[in-house]
Structure 1
Amino acid sequence: MLKVEKLGVRLGGRPILEDVSIQVPEGGLVTILGRNGVGKTTLLRTISGLYRPSAGRILFDGAEIGGLAPHEVVRAGVAQSPEGRQLFGDMNVLENLRAGALNLSRADFDKRVAYVGDLFPIVSERRNQAAGSLSGGEQQMVCIARALMGSPRLLLLDEPSLGLAPKVVARIFELIASIRATGVAVLLVEQNARLALRTADYAYVLDQGRVALEGTARDLVNDERVASAYLGG
């Protein structure tokens, strides 16, 4: 479904990504691992249209989306839940969901709200509450729900466990599995490498802006290089 070929990205004249190639199959769950500052978030932001590639191609269902505006990428079927959640804190939950619903009729909007409400009951329970007053875990659920409002076929998740308590993290990953079970493919950036590898089918490890390792999640969780760097030995 998604094919990134020899992607390069430069920010402020400095190379951030070089010769990066990854794939996400339809309905798959792929994770991107790596230390802070190696380009993981840059990769997701480039796929979602926030940054423009300096080299290479980004293909979605065979069509080039590299360099499209973010709203055009969303219309193509790709949505992102960003790092740090980035909700509109003074707006209520329903208003935040509306921000993720491009050109939906009222009837279709209500259907999508019902859909995400089934996945995330907090959306229905707190729909009129200011998003900024929610807990971190609740905000993360609303952020993912907002990304799902456009009916994406590919969901980009950037550090969904960041700053959350272990029990909340476990719940978030249960929900990610539920989303994947509906047929939505997932590209996951996650610092919790052990949990990410337990959840994903396939993994790429970025180092200094390049793909240093790749393989099935099962293989990489047993790889000594991955274990030493990310899994505590």
Structure 2
Amino acid sequence: MSLNVLLVEDDRELRTTLRDALRVEGYALQTAASLAEAEALLAHAQPPDLVLLDLGLPDGEGETLLASLRQRKSVPVLVISAREQDGSKVRLLDAGADDYLVKPFSVSELLARMRVALRHRGVHTQAAVTRFEHLGLLVDLAAHRVALNGQALHLTPTEFNLLARLVRSAGQVVTHRTLLADVWGPEFTEHTHYLRLYMGQLRAKLEADPADPQLLLTEPGVGYRLAEAR
């Protein structure tokens, strides 16, 4: 299932950059630009699996939210801040932050530190595959591009999201329930007819012979697998 991340950041440009990067990696993302908005999401939305927390927010200090999170939840919290003084880092880590990244930072480093923080809580994740090339099919999730034998393909949003989910786990079986939850939502986990319909549409567009698929493989009774590139 997709892990849910809460990003608390008031810089719109950085918020957009991180939102796009995390979604490519397969994370479900909620964003808040203030303490009040973050508190409302924590109170009423799906609980996050990880929080990315800026310190200087329009209505107060992110440190306040960290204290609140530590009283109520064991969710990992990564502080992302332009403040690089050792005193700030030590204080926040002692207050319960799992890590502290100084801006600017690379997205790849952030993703790696997120995986470490999740692993310390018993959640093991791997870097997602975001580019796939095999048997003439090219999928570039970051560029939102799909091509077959050099020709760009048009996929519907749902077709692209389904293919993207398989790309991120290329070579591995993804169960029916996981695909349905990640592409359509957790309330759709019993609607396997959606998968049959959209997998048929994808095979018609991607496979040389849809009746004998070489890319989008069925694991009977379990789920689907995108053939591993060799």
The reply to whether TM is greater than 0.5 is no
Structure label with greater radius of gyration: 2
With structure 2 as the length reference, what TM-score do the two structures score?
0.27
Higher relative contact order (CA 8 A, sep 6+): 1
With structure 1 as the length reference, what TM-score do the two structures score?
0.27
